[in-house]
Chains A and B, each alone.
Chain A
Amino acid sequence: MNPEIFRIRHRCAGPVSVLFTAFLAASLLLTVLTVGAEASVRMRKNIDDLTPQELAAYEHAIDVMRQKSLANKNDRAGYLWQAWVHNCNGVPVPDSGAAVPIAADPAKNGWFSDADAFCPRMKAPPAGFHTEHPGMCEHAKDLFLPWHRAEFFYYEQALRAADPEGRTGPSTRGVTVPYWNFTQTPTGVRFPKAFENRESPLFYPGRTEGPLTEEDRQRTSPYLLAYLIRDLKWPQFGGYQVGGPGNYGAFEAMIHNYMHDTYIGGVLDTPTTAGLDPIFFSYHAFIDYILEEWIDSHAASEITSPNQYLRGQQSPAFQSPPGFVPGTGVQTMGQVKNYLDIKALGYGFDGGGRPQFLSEADLTRLTTAYDAENKQGFGQAPQSFFTYLLSEGGARGYHSGATPAVVQSVPVVLPSGAPDSLAAVELVRKPLHQGYSYQADVYLHPASVPADLKDDAFRSRYLATSVNYWELSGPGHDHGDMTETRLTAAVQQPVASIQAGALRKEAWMMTVGITPAGPAARPDDFDQPRLTAIPAQ
């Protein structure tokens, strides 16, 4: 047997990496000199690194944007419109252009009432009004990361335009969106301190409270994130083209959705309301940093659908991205290809003098240790590689906080491992009147080993992957009616590891534990899971 077959990752080695390192050092030096020469590049900082003055300017910018929306909910430079850009298909706007003032809700720390803020259900506008289309976020496809970058390009302009002269507070001229690196220990109880200050406009009620759970820590493992960034090609990492072989990329399914649903919670558990809480923007600012880290590790040219236009209607007073060419018809935020060079877009990321991501070398140390400890391959080692990533190489195992409402076990035939295909599990939830988000833990185990999801040892050894489905229902999105949902998650590495190991001739089972966000799940909500092969691209 070729030992390379079951090694869990492919790594660079030898003279090529030495040359690459030298090239990288030279490039970094050049980059520093270039950025230093370009004062127009604004740096996004870790929110915990902001000076008191910088934090005050950011808070002031948000407060002014909030006041703009209170004066006219349809002001495109206001906070509410920018929140709607994330997921509000259509709003009625007076033909006269008259302002539509709304009142602050004292129970919401001065934020808008739900009645004013939630996107109205889609219907024809009343007489004297027409429909405008703030935007519709892209999820479960390759547009997910570029679309959110476009959203932020305009949101930052709204921040800077809030009070550039500093008439009512600190100048907002230089404000950028500070990012929240959720893979680092929070400076507050659960979030960065700035978001836990109840007097600040950064505070929005309803978020999950209390210290981190074990599962929160696992889902925010810097090793898991580094593995996804360094090892996964574009479609597996960033998502598939519409009509392609998959939908969610691994980052969106494994980390992004869990963060929305569970770690942060509150209004972030639904796309139609997520942008109402300012923590959304700092959370996604780090995701934009993650996209940039992926581009640095791979190549922007691998990103698919470069010519696709991105939905969103912004103020004509805002600058368009470099290379912007208006498309036909309804106003957009430009094309994917306009958003692949952040220096050209005028911003960068300031790591604050410390690494914000684990390096290739860090990850190699972890996987080398895993390889050394677990020669037998998947199913024989005490921890699967996925569990190992979640536990950062420690021995804690997989202590999932999930309490599955639905558990399904099916016999599976391992896909043949053709070079142009990936093994994947497919989960289909039947059409329901009331949708819900859920987590699915997928276990592969010999048929001779009974599935015991309450047993830590079972969960740690046989966990193949864990994914989240983020419910896309709600007013203004997907109609809030019955739809079938389908989640496809790659399990190529565990399957390849089984096929290369001593247990390959065993009969294998797949067991899926599904934990809903809320009490609505029933055992017959889901079809039987399938282990299948999907095209690699």
Chain B
Amino acid sequence: MTMDRPSFEQDIRPIFAPYVACMKNVVLTDDDGAAEMDLASYDCVVRFHQPIRVALTGYRPGSTAPHPMPPGGALPDDKIDLFLMWVETGMAR
């Protein structure tokens, strides 16, 4: 990645890799429909980036996420920040 524009393949997919199999059991919905949560899929993560953002930051003070993710405790802050930066910079593939 460049420091100011992370990409999914290089930066985000490795963060989510340990949770891919487990999260495929979870169905998420939005205003368009529903899908199994595939954290290895760029399109799926882009589609549900908002609930993922809420869940990933769910351990932080001030958060109101009912189901913070991932299981087992919060990701390190630098990984959460990387995901947030990826969202803010346009979710590059």
Contact = CB atoms under 8 A, between A and B. Distances in A.
B22 A122 contact: yes
Interface stretch (B4-12, B60-68, B76-84): B60-68
Contact of A484 (B22, B51, B54, B59): B59
Contacts of B34: 309, 311, 327-332
B26 A243 contact: no
Given A133-B27, A330-B27, A482-B73, A140 B66 contact: yes
* A243, A307, A308, A428 — most chain B CB neighbours (10 Å): A243
A245 B64 contact: yes
* A124, A139, A330 — most chain B CB neighbours (10 Å): A330
Nearest to B35: A329
A11 interface: no
Contact of A328 (B22, B35, B36, B63): B35
B64 A244 contact: yes
Q: How large is the interface on A (under 10, 10 to 19, 20 to 34, 35 or more residues)?
A: 35 or more
Interface string A463-486: 000000000100010110111101
Contacts of B72: 479, 481-482
Contact of B21 (A124, A245, A308, A484): A124
Contacts of A28: none
Contacts, number: 110
Contacts of B93: none
Nearest to A335: B31
Contacts of A488: 64
Interface string B13-34: 0000000011011110111111
B73 A431 contact: yes
A243 B54 contact: yes
A327 B32 contact: yes
Contacts of B64: 240, 243-247, 486, 488
Interface string A113-150: 00000000011100000010100100111000000000
A518 B58 CA distance: 25
B89 interface: no
A166 interface: no
Interface in B34-54: 34-36, 50-51, 53-54
Interface in A193-225: none
B66 A472 contact: yes
A310 interface: yes
Nearest to A532: B62
B25 A309 contact: no
Given A243-B50, A428-B61, A90 B25 contact: yes
Given A131-B25, A331-B34, 5 more contacts: A242-B54, A243-B51, A308-B30, A482-B71, A486-B63
The 8 A-B residue pairs with the shortest CB-CB distance, nearest first, are: A327-B33, A328-B33, A479-B71, A90-B25, A140-B66, A309-B29, A122-B25, A307-B31
10 contacts: A133-B25, A243-B51, A243-B53, A243-B54, A247-B65, A308-B29, A311-B27, A327-B29, A329-B35, A478-B71
